[in-house]
């Protein structure tokens, strides 16, 4: 098989790239190791930055997001059993976020791809990638491409095709994880609540007017068997308690534990291979940045490839890595900062707790500090 752009991975990065290329008349083939049902069921991100929303809309895949997504203009930071609103839109000249699940984004993109009748091969894992020759091997054959987009997530195979000698890796593991639930109950909050508590962080989020998405800080290797539903609700109630407010409970539809890490590899390109999204970088989820960064990478990659196919000009391909890494490192910093401000380090070091309180008081009383948080949270226009 031969194509212009071979895309490995049908997550948000690979599917969005394919759509942007299709709109510009550039051919692509997507290889995805899992089934369609699996890709459409993975519960993950929920917060779309303004720039992500604009891009999906311009790409012609924003119809359902516009109808069903929930526009939010603020978030709340909770500490010492009090909530403090960060008015995102007031602080950013009217920008906002949209609550619309990653599962829904992925479903919309898959539907659009299949409607266009373009190749999206499920249950087809890439096994080996040759970055110099532009070849992707999979069990039944090989795909010959001008360019390979490695959009195969953190555990994919593309990153391994970068030569070890030129690769630099940066990483940090955190001594905690998140236990997340999806519950069939109307959210008890109007805006997301990020709660600092001495028993650990908690996050109240949502997916729709009837679906709540809640998280509690836990050990990175937490055993879900030790968390019957009642214990989860009890812990959520304790960590998010404020006077005069009740957390409504409902049937838990899904439970999972996620470890947390920060990771960046540099450069994002070798010869014909370009990495995008989680294949190249990971952020802890506290800043809600992972999906948005993945979309930003492929926006840059699409622009570079469109320029190349229109005029033979490779300059944007040559600067792709550097351009993306500027935003990647800004988001790495913001995600690390949100994470370390809000999570309790095992052992409850009193020095750490005082620093966190001081920072939380500062962010919720200084307009300049709140503005910095808001700008990063809704997504910086330029980095």
What's the CA gap between 62 and 110, in Å, rounded? 13
Options 87-95, 237-245, 289-297, 331-339: segment touching ligand RFL (CB under 6 A): 289-297
What's the CA gap between 373 and 288, in Å, rounded? 12
Options 45-53, 108-116, 159-167, 312-320: segment touching ligand RFL (CB under 6 A): 45-53
Q: Which of residues 271-300 bind ligand PHB (CB under 6 A)?
A: 285-286, 288
- The minimum distance between CB 275 and ligand RFL, in angstroms, equals 9
Least Cα distance to 36 among 114, 129, 101 occurs for 114
Residues pairing with 252 in the sheet:
183
The Cα diameter of the chain in Å comes to 64
Lookup: tokens for 98: 């949209």
Residues 111, 115, 116, 122, Cα dihedral to 10°: 50
Residue 377 known to be catalytic: yes
Pick the closer one to ligand PHB by CB: 305 or 338.
338
Q: Can residue 44 be called a binding residue for ligand RFL (CB under 6 A)? A: yes
Q: Can residue 12 be called a binding residue for ligand RFL (CB under 6 A)? A: yes
Q: Which of residues 253-272 bind ligand RFL (CB under 6 A)?
A: 258
What's the CA gap between 184 and 197, in Å, rounded? 25
Residue 72 known to be catalytic: yes
Residues 6+ apart with CB under 8 A from 115: none
Q: Which does 10 bind (CB under 5 to 8 A by kind): ligand RFL, ligand PHB, none?
A: ligand RFL
Residue 333 known to be catalytic: no
State phi, psi for 180 to the nearest 5 degrees. -110, 145
Q: Can residue 45 be called a binding residue for ligand PHB (CB under 6 A)? A: yes
- Known catalytic residues are 72, 194, 285, 289, 377
For binding to ligand RFL (CB under 6 A), which residues are involved?
A: 8-14, 31-34, 39, 44-47, 102, 125-126, 151-153, 156-157, 178, 180, 258, 277-278, 285, 288-292, 294
């Amino acid at each position: 098989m031969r194509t212009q752009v071979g895309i490995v991975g049908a997550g948000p990065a690979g599917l969005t790239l394919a759509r942007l290329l299709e709109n510009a008349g550039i051919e692509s083939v997507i290889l995805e190791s899992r089934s369609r049902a699996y890709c459409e069921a993975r519960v993950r991100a929920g917060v779309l930055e303004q720039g992500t929303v604009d891009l999906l809309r311009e790409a012609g895949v924003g119809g359902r997001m516009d109808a069903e997504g929930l526009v939010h203009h603020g978030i709340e930071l909770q500490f010492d059993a009090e909530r403090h609103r960060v008015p995102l839109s007031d602080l950013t000249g009217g920008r906002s976020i949209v609550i619309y699940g990653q599962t829904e984004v992925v479903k919309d993109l898959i539907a659009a791809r299949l409607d266009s009748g373009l190749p999206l091969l499920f249950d087809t894992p890439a096994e080996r990638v040759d970055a110099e020759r532009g070849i992707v091997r999979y069990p039944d054959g090989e795909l010959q491409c001008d360019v390979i987009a490695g959009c195969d997530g953190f555990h994919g195979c593309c990153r391994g095709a970068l030569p070890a000698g030129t690769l630099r890796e940066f990483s940090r593991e955190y001594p905690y994880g998140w236990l997340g639930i999806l519950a069939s109950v109307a959210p008890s909050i109007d805006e997301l609540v990020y709660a600092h508590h001495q028993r650990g962080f908690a996050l109240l989020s949502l997916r729709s007017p009837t679906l709540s998405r809640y998280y509690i800080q836990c050990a990175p290797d937490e055993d879900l068997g030790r968390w019957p539903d009642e214990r989860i609700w009890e812990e959520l109630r304790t960590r998010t308690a404020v006077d005069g407010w009740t957390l409504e409970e409902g049937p838990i539809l899904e439970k999972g534990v996620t470890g947390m890490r920060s990771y960046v590899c540099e450069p994002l390109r070798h010869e014909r291979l370009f990495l995008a999204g989680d294949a190249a970088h990971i952020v802890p989820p506290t800043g809600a940045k992972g999906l948005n960064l993945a979309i930003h990478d492929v926006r840059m990659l699409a622009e570079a490839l469109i320029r190349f196919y229109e005029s033979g000009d490779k300059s944007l391909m040559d600067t792709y890595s550097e351009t993306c890494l500027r935003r990647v490192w800004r988001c790495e910093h913001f995600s690390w900062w949100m994470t370390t401000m809000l999570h309790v380090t095992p052992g409850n070091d009193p020095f750490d707790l005082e620093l966190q309180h001081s920072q939380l008081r500062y962010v919720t009383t200084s307009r300049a500090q709140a503005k910095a948080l808001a700008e990063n949270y809704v997504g910086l226009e330029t980095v």
